[in-house]
Amino acid sequence: MIRLLIFLIGIAVMVLIIRRIWQLRTSAQTKLVLLDRDGVINEDRKDFVKKISEFKFIDGSISAIKTLNQAGVKVAIITNQSAVGREIITRENLQDIHDYMQAEMELHGAKVDAIYFCADHPDSATNRRKPGTGMLEEALAYFKASPDQTHMVGDALRDLQPAKKLGIHRHLVLTGKGEKTLNDKSLQDCSPFEVHKNLQDTVAVILKDFKK
């Protein structure tokens, strides 16, 4: 009886060890791409995207996301949406826009796995608002991804700054505010980073990096 009990305990311990090893391997293998929204996926607007009719996809952005999906890469959006904090739009308006975005992506076989947004007004910003690291940290925790297996794509300095702090790979696209950002002297503080014409070109480089 004692031998049987010892045997069963041994099996239980082995199961726990194997499960833990599998969890660690899965975590280490998680590949994650974080995307800013306005200026990367859709056209940026100085007066904010306030309704569905103002949301215009940048050419090639949906196919770029689909390429990531097909490669088994997790995709999350990390976006400041102060239009909510400024009371220009409501959270319901923002949800409608994101529902539309997701629906249009699905029509083309693409999807984002999560959307993180910060509605803070700039004058009362928390650490969730970029360049704070909050939303990026939430995504890393949720997907159990390590910074060295994660890439951040943005068109503004505040997209790259939190990625730099966390050790996440950084990519600047020249769509949206990208051209202006490229001439910002403070950008060098985010080095090293890569510059790409658009999201499609960025994805091609990221996938090559994941294969190394």
Catalytic residue among 36, 44, 120, 159: 36
Contact between 152 and 135 (Cβ < 8 Å):
no
DSSP single-letter state for residue 190: G
Residue the block writes with tokens 């297996």: 149
Quick check: 77 and 41 in contact, CB under 8 A?
yes
Residue ranges with strand state E in 26-132: 32-35, 74-80, 114-118
Please, what is the Cα angle at 50 between 151 and 155, to 5 degrees? 25
Q: Within 13 A of 191's CA, how many CA atoms are on the CB side?
A: 7
Residue 56, both tokens: 């215009």
Q: List the catalytic residue out of 38, 120, 155, 159.
A: 38
Among 112, 82, 96, smallest CA distance to 199 is for 112
36 is catalytic: yes
Query: 38 catalytic, yes or no?
Result: yes
Distance of CA 58 to the CA centre of its chain: 17
Q: How far apart are the C-alpha atoms of 200 and 28, rounded to whole Å?
A: 25
Instruction: In whole angstroms, give the CA distance from residue 163 to residue 160.
Output: 5
- Name the residue among 74, 56, 33 with its Cα closest to residue 203: 33
Catalytic residue set: 36, 38
